[in-house]
Amino acid sequence: MEGDDRFMLSPATSLPRIWIGLWQLSSNAWGSAPAPKVRDAMATHMGKGFFAFDMVRYVSSSQRSYRPLTATTPADHYGPAEDLFGSFVAGLPADTNPRPFGATKWCIFHPTEITYEKVAAAVKERSDRMQKDRVDLLQFFWQDYQDRNYITALQHLARLRMAGKIRNLGLCNFDTKRTEEVCVELGRGYIVSNQVAFSIIDVRPLHGMNDLCDRYGFKVLAYGTLCGGLLTDRWLGKPEPELYSGQLNPSQRKYLDVILKAWGDWDLFQNLLRLLRDIGDRHGGVSIANVAIRWVLEHHFVGAVLIGARLGLSDNTEDNAKVFTFSLTYRDKADIEAVLKLSRSNTMIMTIGDCGAEYRQKEEY
């Protein structure tokens, strides 16, 4: 890769601006591959400069998009991603440089007693499974804001960071208000990131989270940038799919729901795809996905985008690298903005709610 392909997550941590999301390892709904093929795919990504991997908690496929997590949701249950990552790390030569960077999460879905010992055990479990002496990036999610023990939990995590058990500490799906509260409580520099949805479709981080990044010195790690694969050439010119027709994987069902209920309609989405195709052609024929990713990355508060990968089943490394071969022009951005003005993108902050609200409330939009 070349150009602006790296960013500083923290003063000593330079990372690629495209991370490989491993959440598709959590369910066969995206397809499955044997562990050796998954590890081979990780090596391919590493060879192309994509050495940062993001792991996510497992959520049952029976949960509809934007259905609130409840006390009956298995607390912080992961698929095999951490273990597969760990076995990959263990099998690498000792002189591999750079080493794979592993970002994982600790998620609390319902009220629970928070003690230093419990937090330390959660962190150790992750580092053990990832076969690292410390967690490269621990991202913290807390569902119930009425229970303010999330501050206590983060204070314990900050202690573990100081003790060298966590290399970097971040948030996951925290809204603007609570993110600022955390930054004030812990101080500038303790939180290096907040992982939230951000795409041409979902622009909610532009309504406050971007300003917090500037004020407190952390970066947004953006997921949903390709809307589960809907923002790709594959869907250009295609009729509107039915939600449960079998054409869509769980991520695509989630984002189709957003497009149709909160953003606009399928015809306007097709207009957007046609425009992104035209912009791609202006830059030598790069893909719709390249343009959609580039649009997100050109927001200065974004550190990296997280792209879900069906490791062992498909390989988009060559195409992803093209993101860093061009920049959007003023005309490109103005044309995109003209389409967005026809959508309801700027009202999604009110209909869905602030960043992460979709995981804490019922569907009402």
| Residue 95 burial class via C-beta count within 10 angstroms: exposed 0-12, middle 13-18, buried 19 and up | exposed
70-84, 139-153, 206-220, 289-303: segment of lowest average pLDDT: 70-84
| Nearest by Cα to 205 from 296, 272, 121 | 296
User: For residue 316, what pLDDT is reported?
Assistant: 79
Q: Is the pLDDT of residue 59 over 90?
A: no
Residue 330's alpha-carbon distances to 2, 210, 213, in angstroms, are: 22, 21, 24
Domain 6-358: give its CATH architecture: Alpha-Beta Barrel (3.20)
Is 139 in contact with 103 (CB distance < 8 Å)? yes
Tens digits of residue pLDDT in 156-177 = 999 999 999 999 999 999 999 9
Beta bridge partners of 106: 140
Which residues lie closer than 8 Å to 126 by C-beta, 6 or more apart? Answer: 82, 104, 106, 135, 138
Task: State residue 360 phi and psi, 5-degree precision.
Answer: -130, 5
Summary mean pLDDT of the chain = 88
Q: Is the pLDDT of residue 29 over 50?
A: no
User: For residue 361, what pLDDT is reported?
Assistant: 65
Tens digits of residue pLDDT in 203-214 = 999 999 999 999
Tens digits of residue pLDDT in 109-149 = 888 889 999 999 999 999 999 999 999 999 999 999 999 99
Q: Is the pLDDT of residue 24 over 70?
A: no
User: For residue 207, what pLDDT is reported?
Assistant: 97
User: For residue 193, what pLDDT is reported?
Assistant: 98
Burial 219-254 (b: 16+ CB within 10 A, else e): bbbbbbbbbbbbbbeebeeeeebeeeeeebbbbbbb
d(CA 211, CA 174): 14
SS3 266: helix
> 362: pLDDT confidence band, cut at 50, 70 and 90?
low
d(CA 170, CA 147): 19
